[in-house]
A and B are shown apart, each in its own frame.
Chain A
Amino acid sequence: MSDTGSDTEEATENTALIMDGHIAEARPDREIAERIARKRKTKSETQRTYGSVEPTENSGQGSSSGPGPSSAPVTNNSEAQIEELELKYGARHVIKLFVPVTLCMIVVVATISSINFYSVKDVYLAYTPFHEESPYAVTKVWNALANSMILLCVIALMTVLLIVLYKKRCYKIIHGWLILSSLMLLFLFSYLYIEEALRAYNIPMDYITLAFVMWNFGVMGMIVIHWKGPLRLQQAYLIFIAALMALVFIKYLPEWTTWAVLAVISIWDLVAVLTPKGPLRILVETAQERNEPIFPALIYSSTVMYCLAASTTTAAAGEGEQSSRELRPLNPHGNSEAGNVRESGGGDEGFDAAWQARANDARQQTGPQRPARTLRVDGTAPAQYTTRVDRPQPHPHPSPLADEEKGVKLGLGDFIFYSVLVGKASSYGDWNTTLACFVAILIGLCLTLLLLAILKKALPALPISITFGLIFYFATRCVVKPFADALAAEQVFI
């Protein structure tokens, strides 16, 4: 960790290189991009915006693209490349997020509908002292609001704590924290999950086998998430962790608190990401200033890019092989002593919650950073190219592989809250509601990504999706369900 600086330098340049290769070869159809570039009126404005987000890029951008779209052809061209990149970051990557989000939801919904444990309310989190047991609606409402406010405060506190730690470069503490929480999820909550699953399906299993399975599962998860491993496996673990966390929320939050929390969290997401002094924004800005990826345990990435390390990254990523990738800020040896001890039970939930909230800004990396890197390439690429790459690769990667590099990232928190919404919807046993929420969330995600492509700045992924989801949940439950049930019962097809 002593050579953080050089590490990050290299990482950036390597990614830049990838982008360069991608541009150089993969996009022969410039004219479309140029047309878009000319079409864009808001260009200067957006540049200003992410200029403020990311100071490092101003140096690169100032020289190449000061006046805007109508400048010299070279400028236009590079602009066009950015445009192209941003747009290319469309369709396929949207699907790359759809699939994991869908999988996560499926895990949650399947669990909810097959295992009773998660829909029975008996124990509650320490953060939700009001249990909504009163029969009066008013009491329930203020209970739910108070609970969600308490939870929000915890999340905000944890986020601030994380930012302070990050600002002070206490990486070891942060990673100890993350490792501890993922340890708990992977062992304790997985154990609970497996136990309940076995119970639900009435499968007998001895403790020795269970311990063996749990140990292998958990240790492999820790290795894959925090150190290295095949990308698919890592993604699978992250999805599973998100699903587990969502199940925990569904199980341990009181009925209406869950809905209140969903609403409050999405507003918090909005505030934390978009306001100039929002904590998540500060975190991302800091990360971008330092050219570091945000903690890998918090982000689902559709590619390996976020954990590209100093070593042979370009080649490795280009090949789509993960053997040589490493999580940069994380040094495996520093973990054990770094964990700050948390109290069990409720406390852990707390930092998991905060953890998700922080995870939300993971996706912010995708938007703003890219242009900066592409622009910076022009100067540095050739030199870096020859020095870094250990495999003889001429500039262009084959285009599909090059496309792979531009991964999309979504915070695990978004996964969790999407799944909470869908899982909660399914816990009432109406599949129409579940489906409606599912489609609404996917459309919300689509719109968010569309906005990301248009605005090119960090965007919170929760608000649109969760708003849609909530609207459709309540509408479906109150209005659509009776109609649909009547139609189904009478076998009237519309």
Chain B
Amino acid sequence: MTVAEFFSCSLLAFGPPLVMFAMTVANDPVRIIIMIAAAFGWLLSFLLSSLVWFAVVPLRSYLAFGMVFAVIFQEAFRYGMYRLLRKTEAGLKEISENHEIGSNKLEMAYVSGLGFGLMSGAFALVNVLADSIGPGTLGLHGGSEYFFVTSAAMTLCMILLNTFWSVIFFNGCDEKNYLKIGWVIKSHLFVSALSLLNTKGLYAATIIPSYIVLVINAVVAFQCAGGTFKSFVQSFSVRS
């Protein structure tokens, strides 16, 4: 049971991102490097936010405080990634095999967002998964038996959201469209604040709105990348 739970949860959380990684990132070295750089950026942001959380001793038990700082630092580092990628665009183009890397401006945004998301997802879930494999099981002592599943589902949501946020954010930065940047920060704060409800066991109240936000973000990101409803439909009809 524990093993099954481990695999189902890890596949639920990391399956789609891994497929995205394998199909879009893995075959291009430059993208892998960008992804790892983004992961490192996320790591730095998390380090800073935990430093803040750690330093402010009296508020340590209030995760809301740490959460707000974490969101702020993450968005700051997203901006940092944006600056870094735009600065090194030319260099990246040169070291890459295909010189097309910069042709679609949001390609890098997507890749770095995936790196961001994967790292945050890994940090959120990897220890939980390690615990899930046993020994022991959930649901005793009044704990919820849905702990792992909800964690995995939320992790998946956060990974995908980070990807979309990066796309929207980079696009907003390119176009100097502060509405998009604001939307990213706000929705990030919203989803994170929503997850505070998990403590109380209100999983439905967290997950459903989070996925609604995810869908909205997906649509916005799709539009940022130049997609329209028509092209969306077309992409299906061409393939079939």
Contacts and interface: CB of A to CB of B under 8 A. Distances in A.
Say whether A and B bind each other.
yes
Nearest to B151: A491
29 contacts: A91-B97, A92-B29, A94-B33, A95-B29, A403-B97, A432-B127, A435-B122, A435-B123, A439-B43, A440-B43, A442-B40, A443-B40, A446-B36, A472-B47, A479-B47, A479-B54, A484-B50, A484-B124, A486-B63, A487-B66, A487-B124, A488-B124, A488-B125, A488-B151, A490-B63, A491-B198, A493-B191, A494-B46, A494-B120
Interface stretch (B67-75, B77-85, B232-240): B67-75
B187 interface: no
B8 interface: no
Contacts of A25: none
A122 interface: no
Given A91-B29, A484-B123, A492 B96 contact: no
Nearest to A29: B99
Contact of A480 (B46, B94, B120, B155): B46
B130 to A, nearest CB: 5
Nearest to B189: A494
A142 interface: no
A90 B94 contact: yes
Interface string A127-169: 0000000000000000000000000000000000000000000
Nearest to A442: B36
A332 B129 CA distance: 50
A431 interface: yes
B49 A87 contact: no
A493 B203 CA distance: 13
Contacts of B215: none
A79 to B, nearest CB: 15
Contacts of A476: 47
A226 to B, nearest CB: 31
B208 interface: no
Nearest to A486: B63
A430 B129 CA distance: 11
Nearest to B37: A443
A182 B29 CA distance: 33
Interface in B113-148: 119-120, 122-130, 147
A87 B154 contact: no
B interface SS class: helix
Contact of B47 (A29, A32, A480, A491): A480
Question: In which size bucket is the chain B interface?
Answer: 35 or more
Contacts of B74: 494
A491 B30 contact: no
Nearest to B125: A488
Nearest to A483: B50
B40 A432 contact: no
A480 B127 contact: no
Given A91-B96, A491-B147, A484 B127 contact: yes
Contacts of B53: 483
Interface residues of A, number: 41
Contact of B67 (A442, A479, A492): A492
Given A446-B36, A484-B127, A486-B63, 8 more contacts: A432-B123, A432-B127, A435-B123, A440-B40, A442-B36, A480-B47, A488-B125, A492-B199
Given A36-B94, A443-B37, A488 B195 contact: no
Nearest to B69: A494
Contacts of A435: 119, 122-123, 126
Given A94-B29, A494-B70, A494-B71, A439 B130 contact: no
Contacts, number: 129
Contacts of B67: 487, 492, 494
B192 interface: yes
A378 interface: no
B109 interface: no
B122 A446 contact: no
Interface of B: 29-30, 32-33, 36-37, 39-40, 43, 46-47, 49-51, 53-54, 63, 66-67, 70-71, 74, 92, 94-97, 99, 119-120, 122-130, 147, 150-151, 154-155, 157-158, 191-192, 195-196, 198-199
Given A87-B95, A91-B96, A480-B47, A430 B127 contact: yes
A330 B143 CA distance: 65
Given A472-B43, A479-B47, A492-B196, A95 B127 contact: no
Given A91-B97, A94-B29, A493 B40 contact: no
Interface string A22-65: 00000001001000100000000000000000000000000000
A98 B32 contact: yes
Contacts of B96: 90-91
A490 B95 CA distance: 43
A48 B99 CA distance: 32
Interface in A440-494: 440, 442-443, 446, 453, 472, 475-476, 479-480, 482-488, 490-494
A485 B124 CA distance: 8
B34 to A, nearest CB: 10
A90 B101 CA distance: 14
A436 B32 CA distance: 17
Contacts of A90: 94-96
B36 A492 contact: no
Interface string A413-449: 0000000000000000111100110011011001000
**Looking at A436, A476, A493, which has the most chain B CB atoms within 10 Å of its CB?**
A493
Contacts of A453: 95
A432 to B, nearest CB: 6
A449 B96 CA distance: 14
A271 to B, nearest CB: 27
A19 to B, nearest CB: 18
Contact of B124 (A32, A91, A493): A493
A88 interface: yes
B198 A490 contact: yes
